[in-house]
Amino acid sequence: MKQLDTLRETMRRDEVFSFVKPDANIQPITDRGVILSLEGVNKSFDGFKAINDLNMAIDAGELRCIIGPNGAGKTTMMDIITGKTVPDTGRVRFGQTMNLLGMSEPEIAQAGIGRKFQKPTVFEALTVAENLELAMQGDKSVWSTFRAKLSGSQQDYLGEVLETIGLQDGAKGRSGSLSHGQKQWLEIGMLLMQRPHVLLVDEPAAGMTHQEMDKTTELLTSLAGDHTVVVVEHDMDFVRSIAQRVTVLHQGHVLAEGSMDDVQQDQRVIEVYLGE
Ligand SMILES: Nc1ncnc2c1ncn2[C@@H]1O[C@H](COP(=O)(O)OP(=O)(O)OP(=O)(O)O)[C@@H](O)[C@H]1O
Ligand SMILES: [Mg+2]
């Protein structure tokens, strides 16, 4: 039993990548001010400039919406922040000092940047609570073989997350029976289990009913403040309902930035959307 405990300890998500733990002297998280910044970032794919001199700064605790026509570079921008895509030039920083370029995807996730992809990846055969537990454990292959009991505080946190995502009543139900919207919330809950500082969310409202969208607005709004939330979304009503600050991307570059009203009245933005 002792050996099993030792193994569990070794496989804990926050211990697995002990070698990638941020240097204790580096303090990437600031209470206020810029938490995430891109400076002069460029990325070409086979000569096509998907990201073109991209400059953006996001404040800690902000709820930022990124909009823009298809192919504007929104997903590529998230790929660059999370280390999935390495830019040709430019700087990407987390907090004041942490250089995200040169860090691997797991290192960046470990540093506190969580990402939700468009397509839900919940394990349908498992219950809602089990999916959250799995997300906390991190290493999926290990989890199935050596399912560790959660500590008291981990249980408490799981309960908190269930409440945040509004699935406390269905915790023991199979995830496969959840609605599309509920699966998206579960997925956000799975991100929260890793206690990220920044949440990057790609098209959370896609395919949702209006009622589900309203709940998603509430959820993302409640997460901002304690977290920094960056949302890429096409649905303009949804963006209007949550947006504090909106960045419009076009051809890999920031076309406009400001309140939803500001950007919607911007002539360049109108032209880009009319031309779509
Ligand atoms: N790995 C890749 N290889 C080649 N081209 C790519 C790659 N990734 C993205 N692109 C191209 O870069 C451009 C930007 O794509 P991206 O997916 O970032 O746009 P987007 O703003 O997310 O669009 P959408 O709203 O349709 O999701 C597109 O023209 C796309 O075809
Ligand atoms: Mg995209």
How far is residue 156's CA from residue 15's CA, in Å, rounded to a whole number?
A: 20
Q: Of 153 and 118, which is predicted with more confidence? A: 153
Residue 85 alpha carbon, nearest atom of ligand 1: 1
Region 89-117 average pLDDT: 92
Q: Is pLDDT at 181 greater than 60 in this prediction?
A: yes
pLDDT at residue 158 in the model:
94
Range of the domain at 230: 2-274
Q: Is pLDDT at 100 greater than 90 in this prediction?
A: yes
71 lines ligand 1 (CB under 6 A): yes
Residue closest by Cα to atom 27 of ligand 1: 70
Overall number of domains in the chain: 1
pLDDT at residue 153 in the model:
87
CATH number of the domain residue 250 falls in: 3.40.50.300
Nearest-10 crossing angle of helices 210-223, 152-164: 130
Nearest-10 crossing angle of helices 152-164, 128-137: 120
